[in-house]
């Protein structure tokens, strides 16, 4: 897919940014910060989950996504952002549910428990090199009645979401509380991303938005 430009507030001076993801949630988070960026699908094989730890998986996959577009960057200073998110409960990775029964099983497993959301982030530039990070958030679900699970599944929201819920959507009703970054649970920890970009280019992000 060809990259496409996003709406950008007037007066910003951000460097060229390429988001290696078509996730609408990640796009919305970048837009909310006022970044100018383009979007392009990464072309890469993801890491074999049996080979390393979950922490390593998300960081390596994020890096592979960002690196896969390095030759597609318009300039040497273009910052390419890659991200990979996993949901982990009781030591088991919960991917996107394959059907209604799978979604029901996942939500029943999350009911009344804590689970962890892990996101690896990679920022890559031909000029500046690369920077990676790992962010973890603990998410606590209240106890979910079976009827409520069924009603949520009927909305079809769970089917393209890791862990079978969307915290930025109707799935928010399940949350008791969160420990850590909310935006990480959405799919892109913007707090950490901003720090990673600053470390990569050696410039305060505030300079990009000053008058």
- Are 40 and 69 in contact by the 8 Å Cβ rule? The answer is yes
CB-based contacts of 191: which residues, under 8 Å, 6+ apart? 181, 183
Closest by alpha carbon to 67, among 46, 54, 47, 81?
81
Length of the chain: 211
With helix as H, strand as E and coil as C, how does 138-183 read? EEEECCCCHHHHHHHHHCCHHHHCHHHCCCCCHHHHHEEEEECCHH
* Given the residues 84, 99, 102, 116, the one annotated as active site: 84
Q: Is 90 a catalytic residue?
A: no
180 and 137 in contact (C-beta within 8 Å)?
yes
Q: Which of 90, 73, 93 is nearest to 81 (CA)?
A: 73
Q: How many whole angstroms from its chain centre is CA 115?
A: 16
List 123's β-bridge partners, or say none. 81, 131
CA atoms of 153 and 18, how far apart (whole Å): 34
Catalytic residues: 84
């Amino acid at each position: 897919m060809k990259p496409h430009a996003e709406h950008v507030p007037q007066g910003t001076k951000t460097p060229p940014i390429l988001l290696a993801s078509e996730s609408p949630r990640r796009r919305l988070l970048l837009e909310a910060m006022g970044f100018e960026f383009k979007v392009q699908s990464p072309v890469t094989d993801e890491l074999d989950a049996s080979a390393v730890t979950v922490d390593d998986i998300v960081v390596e996959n994020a890096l592979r996504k960002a690196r896969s577009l390095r030759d597609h960057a318009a300039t040497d200073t273009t910052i390419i952002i890659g991200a990979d998110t996993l949901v982990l409960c009781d030591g088991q990775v919960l991917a996107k549910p394959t059907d209604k029964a799978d979604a029901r099983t996942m939500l029943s497993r999350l009911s009344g428990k804590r689970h962890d959301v892990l996101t690896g982030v990679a920022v890559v530039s031909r000029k500046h090199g690369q920077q990676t990070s790992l962010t973890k958030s603990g998410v606590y679900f209240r106890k979910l009645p079976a009827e409520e699970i069924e009603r949520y599944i009927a909305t079809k929201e769970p089917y393209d979401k890791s862990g079978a819920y969307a915290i930025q959507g109707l799935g928010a009703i399940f949350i008791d509380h969160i420990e850590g970054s909310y935006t990480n649970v959405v799919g892109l920890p913007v707090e950490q991303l901003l720090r990673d970009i600053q470390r990569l280019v050696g410039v305060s992000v505030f300079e990009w938005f000053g008058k």
